[in-house]
Copies of this chain bind each other. A is one copy, B any other.
Amino acid sequence: MKNYIKHDPWCIIEEGFYPEYNEITESLTSLGNGRMGQRGNFEEQFSGKTLLGNYVAGVFYPDKTRVGWWKNGYPRYFAKVLNACNWIGINVDIEGETLDLATCTVSDYSRVLNMKEGILERTFVATFASGKQVRVHAQRFCSIVDDEAGAIRYSVTPLNFDGTITLTPSLDGDISNKDSNYGEKFWDEIHKETAFGEAYLEMRTKDTPFKTELFNVCTGMKIDILVNGESVDFQSKPVKSAKYVACKIELKAKANEEITLYKYAVNLASLNHALEDLLPNAKAYIARISAKGFKQMKAEHAQAWAERWAQNDIIIEGDSDSRTDAAQQGIRFNIFQLEQTYTGEDARLNIGPKGFTGEKYGGSTYWDTEAYCLPFYLATADQKVARNLLVYRHKHLQKAIENAAMLGFNNGAALYPMVTMTGEECHNEWEITFEEIHRNGAIAYAIHDYIRHTGDESYLAEYGLDVLVGIARFWAQRVNWSADKKKYVMLGITGPNEYENNVNNNWYTNYLAAWCLRYTLSAVNSLQAADSGVQPAVLGTLSEEELTKWQHIVDNMYYPYDAERQVFLQQDGFLDKELLTVEDIKEHRPINQKWSWDRILRSCFIKQADVLQGLYFFEEEFDTETIRRNFDFYEPMTVHESSLSPCVHVIQAAKLGYNEKAYEMYLRTSRLDLDDYNNDTEDGLHITSMAGTWMSVVKGFGGMRIKDGKLAFTPFLPEQWKGYSFRIGFRGQVVRVAVRPGEVEVENLSSQALSLAINGTEITVAAQATEVVKG
């Protein structure tokens, strides 16, 4: 842990310049508004360690796959989140010396991401080789009100000289992805133009052999200059080169005069605008926001953030010490980044693993969305947000059927991809692509989770059943009858624990598959029984024989089990392994960096919850002692080297009364990126696991469940805290739950009474009323 980020309840603070950690800080200070986002890069030129990153939601490129040995069934391309035009650039030149924090002497440096208002701010004093000094103060944001726009206020104050300061705000489209498979660039220039203090650059993704959608993005900027807060006349000299356009502005400055440049920028994508409208709409957008002005834009943006926080904040009370600040900062950082990444307004979008904070892994959609993110949006956002996440998969059903067909499945069997942008599979490691198929189950589970939370049964007929049937058909073909075991088995599986590959009878996947069949059968039954409403067409495609086969699988699935320890076995061969615990290999961690893949695969060590993931999903189907035995067996072997691991363990540890373990895991999930636990924050943030952090508090500490269509809480207060509170949206109502020593306060913020259970006792809270439950 690097520990250079200050503990603060509302801000991410780098105080003093840490150039060696700059890529980490860039990730941590990323900005986004659901439509676009960017890493916390510097506006001015920087020749030190940096990963320049600007991203536009939904814009991707199908890079040519890179594999050692092609295997039949591999997808044709790997869709990459596309690093796009850099619109923040403002080069600063002082009489032949360029401002570059890698070459200047830097003092009084701070970089602060204010999460309360969604503003990134940087101040520093730079001393050039000549001895000239300037103070810089930069502020910027991606507006969540004007969500195709961002704005920058960048001021330079010469401290010990009078002289010429040259500012060159630019739009730079000559950008490549860091992990481009063959070192190629993916953008063509379509158009560029400059006028006085204004510039536009339209780029288009290169044509591809894969016939995927191409995207145009038109980026625009407009500049204004103030000196000591007063508008001044200035000259703007156009600068153009390949995929680059800028305005060069020379200003005479006196010592201690503050020169401020406002840069208004927009990013319009062809996803949202007709091609011929991109440039005119960009111009109109620029005109509108520049007329509104930085101050007003910022105020509206901050106000919108205040409204979001009022809805979604989790407040931790404790001593106002660094420890409480660390916990508070952790959860807020997670909520903030989730809110920046996905707004749920567009069913074509999803929650990329790195959001707008990096480009690693590629694709935008993993099972993370259904298994980890959905609960957050279910409880904190309008119901349509979670519904859009589900509809997204419904839109991809045909592609999932094609994907399964490519592997040899038929009759409408659907295999959702491991990673995707368009519904087509983009992953090409056979042990993941073909075998980590539990993802299919998570998509079915999300339908269950959505309906359970929202009560929106109509979703099943409208969209849900189509997806469930496709998934059920896949499982029914993917299992096979073992004449030896006289059970259905599932061979060649990678479970959530990616530290085992190509195993047989992964308990989690077997259980999930049988559950999917069971859930689909019950959905079919209830829809067949319904005498009103729309009957989904897919019902007509189901034969009695097919349904009987599904039921036979449900009744005869094989589950590996250790009768001696009374635990479920992660897979058939698990007991042949040398069963060590993480304590035995302390100095070898993280094993994914210190061990060969060979050694990892053969070890008992678990990357993330696997059997325990199943017990988390299907908690109601197991008694507590069963969960405890499995937790006690597996958790000590779990290295939590996936960001998605600790949260599930918080929830189960809390349930089992393992309070220390729950708190340890909470810190690990909530401060994963802030403390760079896995030594990879520089690549971007672990966005999807952030929803897991939220679950840690709400489902873990708060013990939130849905039981019989009602909310239920069994809260637990970590001894490190004095209290905490959160809000939950549930079926049109909102409840605030505050946990304090010996009591739970429940505030019903809605206009109707709400019945819910606290520690197993049902209470009814009147509209707008508060109840306190002791004990």
In Å, the complex CA distance between A595 and B481 comes to 20
Which residues on the B side are within 8 Å of A593 (C-beta)?
72
Which residues on the B side are within 8 Å of A71 (C-beta)?
596-597
Asked if A242 is at the interface of the complex by the 8 Å CB criterion, the answer is no
Among A377-385, A571-579, A625-633, the stretch that binds chain B is: A571-579
Which residues on the B side are within 8 Å of A429 (C-beta)?
68-69
Chain A count of residues within 8 A CB distance of the other chain: 52
Asked if A188 is at the interface of the complex by the 8 Å CB criterion, the answer is no
Which residues on the B side are within 8 Å of A428 (C-beta)?
68
Contact A482 B575 (CB under 8 A): yes
Asked if A210 is at the interface of the complex by the 8 Å CB criterion, the answer is no
Interface residues of A in 625-671 (CB under 8 A from B): none
- Across the interface, name the chain B residue whose C-beta is closest to A503: B502
* 1/0 contact string of A496-519 vs chain B (CB within 8 Å): 000001111100000000000000
A462 to chain B, nearest CB (A): 32
Q: Which of B68, B407, B597 lies in contact with A73, CB distance below 8 A?
A: B597
Which residues on the B side are within 8 Å of A595 (C-beta)?
72, 408
Which residues on the B side are within 8 Å of A596 (C-beta)?
71-73, 406-408, 434
Asked if A67 is at the interface of the complex by the 8 Å CB criterion, the answer is yes
Asked if A2 is at the interface of the complex by the 8 Å CB criterion, the answer is no
Contact A491 B573 (CB under 8 A): yes
Asked if A602 is at the interface of the complex by the 8 Å CB criterion, the answer is yes
Q: Which of B483, B491, B599, B602 lies in contact with A579, CB distance below 8 A?
A: B483
A317 to chain B, nearest CB (A): 44
A474 to chain B, nearest CB (A): 12
Contact A68 B65 (CB under 8 A): yes
Contact B408 A598 (CB under 8 A): yes
* 1/0 contact string of A603-638 vs chain B (CB within 8 Å): 000000000000000000000000000000000000
Which residues on the B side are within 8 Å of A492 (C-beta)?
598, 601-602
Q: Which of B483, B489, B577 lies in contact with A491, CB distance below 8 A?
A: B577
A195 to chain B, nearest CB (A): 42
* 1/0 contact string of A34-73 vs chain B (CB within 8 Å): 0000000000000000000000000000000111110111
Asked if A128 is at the interface of the complex by the 8 Å CB criterion, the answer is no
Which residues on the B side are within 8 Å of A505 (C-beta)?
576
Interface residues of A in 422-453 (CB under 8 A from B): 428-431, 434-435
Which residues on the B side are within 8 Å of A491 (C-beta)?
573, 576-577, 601-602
* Known A-B contacts A67-B68, A430-B598, A434-B596; A575 and B483 likewise in contact (beta carbons under 8 Å): yes
In Å, the complex CA distance between A578 and B602 comes to 26
Which residues on the B side are within 8 Å of A78 (C-beta)?
68
Q: Which of B65, B435, B484, B575 lies in contact with A484, CB distance below 8 A?
A: B575
In Å, the complex CA distance between A68 and B183 comes to 14
* 1/0 contact string of A70-93 vs chain B (CB within 8 Å): 011110001000000000000000
- Across the interface, name the chain B residue whose C-beta is closest to A67: B68
Q: Which of B434, B483, B485, B578 lies in contact with A597, CB distance below 8 A?
A: B434
* 1/0 contact string of A574-586 vs chain B (CB within 8 Å): 0111110000000
Contact A502 B68 (CB under 8 A): no
Which residues on the B side are within 8 Å of A556 (C-beta)?
none
* 1/0 contact string of A170-185 vs chain B (CB within 8 Å): 0000000000001100
Which residues on the B side are within 8 Å of A480 (C-beta)?
576-578, 602
Asked if A311 is at the interface of the complex by the 8 Å CB criterion, the answer is no
In Å, the complex CA distance between A246 and B572 comes to 66
Q: List 24 A-B contacts (CB under 8 A).
A: A65-B68, A66-B68, A68-B429, A71-B597, A72-B597, A73-B596, A73-B598, A73-B599, A182-B183, A407-B598, A434-B596, A434-B601, A480-B577, A480-B578, A482-B575, A483-B575, A485-B576, A491-B573, A491-B576, A491-B577, A491-B601, A491-B602, A492-B598, A502-B601
3 closest pairs, A vs B, by CB?
A: A73-B596, A434-B598, A484-B575
